Amino acid sequence: MSRDMIIQEKAFRTMLLWLVWAAVALAVHLSMYYDLNLWEYIKQDQSKITWVTYGLFVLGIVMSFGLMVRVINESTLATKLGYIAREKGLIEVPIDSTAKAVERFFLSVKELAIKNEQPDIEALLDVELAPYRRLSHAVDVFGNLLITLGLIGTVVGLITILAGLTTSMDALGHDQERLMTGIRHAMGGMGTSFYATLLGSVLGGLLLRVFVLINEHGIEELSENLKKICMVYCSSDCKPGLERELRFFNIEISTLGENVTLLQAALNETKDTLAAFKEQVRELHELGNDEYGKQTLRDAVRLQDHYTSLLKEEVRVISKINRSWWARLKRALQR
């Protein structure tokens, strides 16, 4: 098995771990739903703490999934560019855009190498992968918030219990309906305390925390992959010296030779085009010598003008139809 296939398997291993843990999280939810009658209590929760807890948990899951997908795409691109760097060198690594962190990283390394400076791989990786680490930290903060909400729910539940017991004690012996209302409030407070603590610890302290660990594992594997590429395949390009300058000079000469070849091909095509144009001019000149040829030429020119006018009108109508109302509104506001 090749090294690139091993790296690819490591990248998709992050997705496998994420999906496995997502299945575990789903099983935990189903267990709480059927065994603890969780959904019925959430619908009856007057404090809405469990609603906020579930909302933050779902948002954290969405952020973790998006981060996992982006890290896998980055790892796949890193493997592809690493293969090119191994076969052709750092300078030949193609950078189509700067939308991804891996592309920005290789672009920075190439610019420093061209300037004959030694790049700090660790610092560049910290800078380029910082957005992913911040997003992973945000998901971790959501987990801590869920635990805090569980503690807040416990306090709110205790307050509700005390309020319900106070009402029951005041109504004891003379107001049966008020007594039962106070007992119901006390039982509701006990439910709030129990379920809020349970959801906060399970969702935030267990499930979401493991998702964060999986995301951080994927980011670290991406960082290690890029370090290995630079240390093994691009070591001679990253180290300043005369050998690197000569290699860059040879690459520039090769590129210049390719450009000259393309220019020669373009000149040959231009020469053929001019010859064809000269032949057409000669045919038109011969056609215009007699009266019938002149009339035919004039008719052809009129027909061409009419066709051009129709084409312009068609383009104008299509552009008017396809023009969005939002663009027209923006232009109206700019005026």
Q: What is the pLDDT of residues 117-135, one digit of tens each?
A: 778 888 889 999 999 999 9
302 alpha carbon, distance to own chain's centre: 55
| Residue that wins the pLDDT comparison between 180 and 207 | 207
- Say which amino acid occupies 41: Y
The answer on 122 and 57 residing in a single domain is yes
Q: Measured in Å, how far apart are the chain's first and last C-alpha atoms?
A: 64
Output the pLDDT for position 210: 93
Q: Are 50 and 196 in contact (CB under 8 A)?
A: yes
Name residue 140's amino acid.
D
Residue 66: how many CA atoms within 13 Å on its side-chain side? 13
Boundaries of domain holding 90: 3-240
Domain termination site, one of 191, 208, 240 = 240
**245 token code pair:** 């300058």
Residue type, 213: L
Say if CB 154 and CB 133 are below 8 A apart.
Answer: no
Give tens-digit pLDDT for 84-124: 888 877 777 888 888 889 999 988 888 887 777 778 888 88
Query: Do 128 and 160 fall within a single domain?
Result: yes
- pTM attached to this predicted model: 0.67
Q: In angstroms, rounded to a whole number, what is the distance separating the alpha carbons of residues 172 and 134?
A: 56
Q: Do 191 and 41 meet the contact criterion of CB atoms below 8 Å apart?
A: yes
Residue 50 CB burial class (10 angstroms; 0-12, 13-18, ≥19): buried
The two tokens of residue 181 are 């209302």
Specify whether 173 is located in the same domain as 311. no
Q: Percent of the chain having pLDDT more than 70? A: 75
Last residue of a domain, one of 209, 224, 240: 240
Q: Does 142 lie in the same domain as 23?
A: yes
Among the ranges given (3-7, 108-112, 298-302), the one the predictor scored with the smallest mean pLDDT: 3-7
Residues 128 and 10 reside in one and the same domain: yes
The answer to whether residues 193 and 300 belong to one domain is: no
Scored b (16 or more CB within 10 A) or e, 105-117 reads: bbebbbebbeeee
- Say which residues have a Cβ less than 8 Å from residue 242's Cβ, sequence separation at least 6: none
- Based on the fold, state whether residues 57 and 148 are members of the same structural domain: yes
Q: What is the pLDDT of residues 57-71, one digit of tens each?
A: 999 999 999 999 999
Q: Which residue has the tokens 């040829």?
A: 293
| Alpha helices (H) along 36-48 | 38-44
Mean pLDDT highest for which of 47-56, 202-211, 233-242, 274-283?
A: 202-211
Produce one character per residue of 158-171: b if its CB has 16 or more CB atoms within 10 Å, e if not: eebbeebeebbeeb
The DSSP H or E segment spanning 252 is helix 242-287
Q: Kindly tell me the burial class for residue 78, based on how many C-beta atoms sit within 10 Å of its own C-beta (0-12, 13-18, 19 or more).
A: buried
Q: Which tokens belong to 322?
A: 């396809």
Across the chain, what does the average pLDDT equal?
79
Most confident of 17-26, 249-258, 295-304: 17-26
User: Which of 17-21, 82-86, 157-161, 235-239 tops mean pLDDT?
Assistant: 17-21
Amino acid 212: pLDDT: 94
The distance of Cα 232 from the centroid of its chain, to the nearest Å, equals 28
Specify whether 177 is located in the same domain as 259. Answer: no
Q: Which amino acid is at 201?
A: S
Q: What is the pLDDT of residues 243-280, one digit of tens each?
A: 556 666 666 777 777 888 888 888 888 888 888 777 77
The residue among 74, 220, 75, 39 whose CA lies nearest residue 136 is 220
Both tokens of 155, joined, read: 């306090």
Residues 220 and 256 reside in one and the same domain: no
* Domain co-membership, 199 together with 321: no
- If asked whether residues 13 and 161 sit together in one domain, one would say yes
**Helices then strands, each counted (H, E), the chain:** 12, 0
Q: 240, 273, 303: which is the final residue of a domain?
A: 240
Give the separation between CA 8 and CA 79, rounded to whole angstroms: 7
* Same domain as 188, residue 88: yes
Number of domains forming the structure of the chain: 2
